[in-house]
Structure 1
Amino acid sequence: DLNAPDIIVRNEKRMLQESVDALLDNGRRGRAITGSNKRPLKSLADMIKGKQGRFRQNLLGKRVDYSGRSVITVGPTLRLHQCGLPKKMALELFKPFIYSKLQSLGYASTIKAAKKMVERELPEVWDILADVIREHPVLLNRAPTLHR
């Protein structure tokens, strides 16, 4: 013990508990503790919850390489098990495969030369894209539509 009066010890314990409460969830118990700019301080719970919280902002919303987003439409030339993919998107998604195929078939001597061919969208690039797509399946995902 600190040999302090009982009332002071109780007051210090209460203040410590309020500080811990404010750190975990500011504003839950009574008035929120404010900083020097008179705005409520951000608690650990505030950092986690909501749209701007850690879960939704960073953990769930990560970017994914070699993926795209587009509108799915029907086409008269497509079969039931087929789906149309915009040409530019296919070119972007399959770039690494196109570069290596351009190099292996002798159209380009280096990756840099292959990149320039793809940028110019030469006819050879579209032929190779058709070959690459035949060898590599595309995965599609359709999020469920919410009805009222």
Structure 2
Amino acid sequence: MAFQSPFSKETALGAHAQRRSNQSGRTFFATTTLSSVKPSSKIREEEQEALKQDQVRQDKVWREFVEAERRATKYWYQNWSFLKDYDPLGKKKEPEQLPEYVSVFSDKIPSTTGHVIGSRMNTDLGKTLVKMDYFLNYGKRKKKLGEELQPS
């Protein structure tokens, strides 16, 4: 037996309704037919479709979401920022000491042809940049056309 929502359009006082009450004394009306009860996924789809059609409501929901995100960011620093100072075991993290001097050019990977990109290239990003530099400058240089592309 399904309970009918008090917010539904049809009333539960129809011919097929039965009156029930729980231990606290609240009265519920249970219907015997399931035709008036919609599945929750169908209700959600209808609500989302109505929201898409109502652009003012959609804008209001978006503004509320942005405001909630800003509030959450603000309160994160107040409530959870201590987590960045401790490791997973609860011990205080020691700040990492940086070296006095770091060479701009890498010893392991050569700098690019323009000598603009060469700083700390021993990373995945640096290796990708070196490959991109090669393909942009040397990968597309003039070549002799293949036999099938030669003018006859």
The TM-score bracket by the shorter chain reads under 0.3
Higher share in strand: 2
What is the TM-score of this pair, normalised by structure 2? 0.19
